[in-house]
Amino acid sequence: MLEQYGVIPVVTFRREEDALPMLGALCAGGLPVAEICFRTDCAKECIEAGRKAFPDMCIGAGTVLSGAQCADALAAGAQFIVSPGYSEEVALLCEERKVFYLPGCATPTEIMRALAAGLTTLKFFPANVYGGLSAIRALAAAFPQMRFVPTGGVSEETLAQYLAFDKIAAVGGSWLVKGTPADAEEAARRAVRIVHEVRG
């Protein structure tokens, strides 16, 4: 689902009023997608506002830890769900609602659990701590049916080398939304340019 974008901005909003300027900046930069972390009190409202203001944008919820959080995120309009680890109850709810679920998996055992649940695209998190691209290459050799979305420690400088590996569906990163909305728009433009250069 997220492969078409190549890059997924990961953003944590502390205030609801910050959401629309930042989401609008990403769209203006050619990157109409965002994972809004569900770890602040205003996350649900930010997703709701974003879906209403930018109906063509793909907005998901990240840092979803439980079935209850997942239900809240889906009620807010989240179009995909991301977890730092694998949650069976979140996986079941997403399957029931026909919503794309991207759980974080960093070990062969976790990958096998996700595979048993029918998942073939996984978040690799935190990528920089667990070995980055070299670890993903090793895991991909053991699990050729899997594709990965590395997140955590990925940067504009390392984006191209990640995207060049065919087992990587997309890359997630908060570096895109550091600073002002104007900064985010420029970062999005540069990221989109890299995606096009690497993937054509």
Write the CB contacts of 122 (distance below 8 Å, at least 6 apart in sequence). 102, 103, 104, 105, 111, 114, 146, 147, 148, 149
Q: What is the pairing mode between strands 121-124 and 100-103?
A: unpaired
Q: Which of 16, 17, 35, 48 is catalytic?
A: 35
Q: Which residue has the tokens 């409202």?
A: 45
Instruction: Judge whether 35 counts as a catalytic residue.
Output: yes
Instruction: Judge whether 44 counts as a catalytic residue.
Output: no
Distance CA 179, CA 177 (A): 6
Report the helix count and the strand count for the chain, using DSSP H and E.
8, 8
CA neighbor of 170 nearest in space, from 139, 144, 136, 143: 136
Query: Yes or no: is domain 7-199 CATH 3.20.20.70?
Result: yes
What ranges do the domains of the chain cover?
Answer: 7-199
CA dihedral of residues 86, 89, 92, 98 (deg, nearest 10): -80
Q: Which of 88, 123, 167, 197 is catalytic?
A: 123
Instruction: Return per-residue pLDDT of the chain as tens, 200 residues.
Output: 799 999 999 999 999 999 999 999 999 999 999 999 999 999 999 999 999 999 999 999 999 999 999 999 999 999 999 999 999 999 999 999 999 999 999 999 999 999 999 999 999 999 999 999 999 999 999 999 999 999 999 999 999 999 999 999 999 999 999 999 999 999 999 999 999 999 98
